């Protein structure tokens, strides 16, 4: 591929200890790209692999000028790997998929056809998923239902890496934590259109899965982050202030009642638990409002400051670089 050629499709693939699968994956990607009839680049992000994946990727790149390899200094996680791929992608459309061969590269064409219908993001749905039910599929079903309900974006399979994005969408989103799976939800609140199509899912034949049920708590915590970002990222005082006003109001009402008992009814309130509760609620209310004001200042500083990368690259193998 001529390095000055306009690139239409960037395929971004995070890699962590998938040396056995990479040659077959590249062959399938090569065939899929040939069938697309569009100019493509393939970006592998070696996320700190220790099994020789980088050596395999170097050999692949030596025989295919469309391949770009980004190597991290250590394992930063899938979100950071995808963020690096997005940052270095040149295509008008960016497609992501896993390196374990469970995603089918032949489905890329179907994603692009759906995107040509006018959508900004097309997400894959592994309807007939080839994973264990109790440890993988059941938690995924529950999580997808919860995520859809909280974010308001109804998708069957948030966890499917096989997705297609318009360049301008993903390049305007900062990723950290496990937020890569929430990109459709975050982007939908920017006014973009999201669609979902069924894709093939294949059983893992080689290598070890990097996913486990132990990641669920992290995903749930990131879901809270997403909900906050979607609803209150530019107005934190509204949520913290609401709690503060509620606490302060409740404490004030209790305080007025206790004052009435002491001044009018002449009852002793010195040892009443309600007195401590009233004081506590008022103090908590003041703290929440103060926290909201501090959050407002931090949010403004964040939006006005330069973005900071969440990964550190060791080297890049690319035809555009010496």
% pLDDT > 70, the chain = 89
Residue-wise pLDDT for 43-94, tens only, equals: 999 999 999 999 999 999 999 999 999 999 999 989 999 999 999 999 999 9
Confidence of residue 304 (pLDDT cuts 50, 70, 90): low
Would you call 10 helix, strand, or coil by DSSP? strand
Instruction: Please give the residue that has the higher pLDDT: either 128 or 25.
Output: 25
Please state whether beta strands 67-72 and 40-46 pair in parallel, antiparallel, or not at all (unpaired).
parallel
Question: 173-208 b/e with 16+ CB inside 10 Å = b?
Answer: bebebbbbbbbbbbbbeeebebbbbebbbeeeeebe
Position of tokens 């993001």?
Answer: 121
**pLDDT at site 14:** 96
Helices (H), the chain: 22-36, 53-63, 78-88, 108-116, 138-151, 167-170, 183-188, 216-232, 236-263, 273-304
Lowest mean pLDDT among 33-42, 113-122, 143-152, 294-303: 294-303
- Round to whole Å and give the CA distance between 322 and 314: 15
Enter the tokens of residue 225: 């982050």
Determine phi and psi for 29, rounding to 5 degrees: -65, -40
pLDDT at position 300 over 80:
no
The residue assigned the tokens 């708590």 is 217
Contacts of 208 (CB under 8 A, 6+ apart): 17
Structure confidence at residue 90 (pLDDT)? 94
Residue spans of the domains in the chain: they are 9-231, 236-299
pLDDT in tens, 219-273: 777 777 777 777 766 677 777 888 889 999 999 999 999 998 888 888 888 888 8
Residue that the structure tokens 């969440």 belong to = 310
Which of 23, 61, 22, 24 has its CA nearest to residue 41? 61
What lies within 8 Å, CB to CB, of 188 at 6+ separation is: 121, 151, 152, 153, 194
- Distance in angstroms (rounded) separating the CA atoms of residues 41 and 68: 7
Mean pLDDT of the 206-225 span: 72
Which residue has tokens 């693939």? 13
Cβ atoms of 185 and 154 closer than 8 Å: no
pLDDT for 177-188, tens place per residue?
Answer: 778 888 888 888
Taking the model in full, what pTM does it have?
0.75
pLDDT for position 130: 84
The closest alpha carbon to 136, from 38, 212, 247, 245, belongs to 212
* Homologous superfamily, domain 9-231: Spore Coat Polysaccharide Biosynthesis Protein SpsA; Chain A (3.90.550.10)
The pLDDT of residue 141 is 85
List the structure tokens of 128: 């007939």
């Amino acid at each position: 591929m001529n390095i000055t050629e306009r690139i239409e499709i960037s395929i971004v693939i995070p890699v962590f200890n998938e040396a056995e699968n990479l040659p077959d994956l590249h062959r399938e990607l090569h065939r899929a790209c040939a069938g697309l009839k569009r100019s493509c680049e393939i970006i592998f992000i070696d996320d700190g692999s220790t099994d020789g994946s980088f050596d395999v990727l170097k050999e692949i790149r030596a025989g295919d000028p469309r391949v770009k390899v980004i190597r991290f200094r250590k394992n930063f996680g899938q979100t950071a790997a995808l963020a690096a791929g997005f940052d270095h992608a040149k295509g008008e459309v960016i497609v992501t998929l896993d390196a374990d061969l469970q995603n089918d590269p032949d489905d890329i064409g179907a994603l692009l056809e759906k995107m040509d219908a006018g959508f900004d993001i097309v997400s894959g749905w592994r309807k007939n998923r080839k994973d264990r039910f109790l440890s993988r599929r059941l938690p995924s079903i529950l999580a997808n239902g919860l995520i859809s309900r909280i974010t308001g974006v109804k998708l069957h399979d948030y966890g499917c890496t096989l997705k297609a994005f318009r360049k301008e969408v993903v390049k305007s989103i900062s990723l950290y934590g496990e937020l890569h799976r929430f990109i459709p939800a975050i982007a939908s609140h920017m006014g973009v259109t999201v669609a979902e199509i069924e894709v093939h899912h294949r059983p893992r034949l080689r290598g070890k899965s990097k996913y486990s049920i132990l990641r669920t708590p992290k995903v749930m915590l990131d879901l809270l982050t997403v909900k906050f970002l979607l609803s209150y990222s530019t107005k934190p005082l509204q949520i913290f202030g609401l709690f503060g006003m509620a606490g302060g109001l409740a404490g004030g009402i209790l305080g007025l009642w206790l004052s009435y008992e002491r001044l009018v009814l002449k009852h002793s309130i010195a040892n009443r638990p309600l007195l401590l509760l009233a004081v506590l609620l008022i103090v908590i209310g003041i703290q929440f409002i103060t926290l909201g004001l501090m959050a407002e200042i931090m949010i403004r500083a964040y939006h006005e400051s330069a973005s900071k990368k969440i990964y550190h690259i060791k080297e890049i193998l690319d035809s555009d670089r010496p």
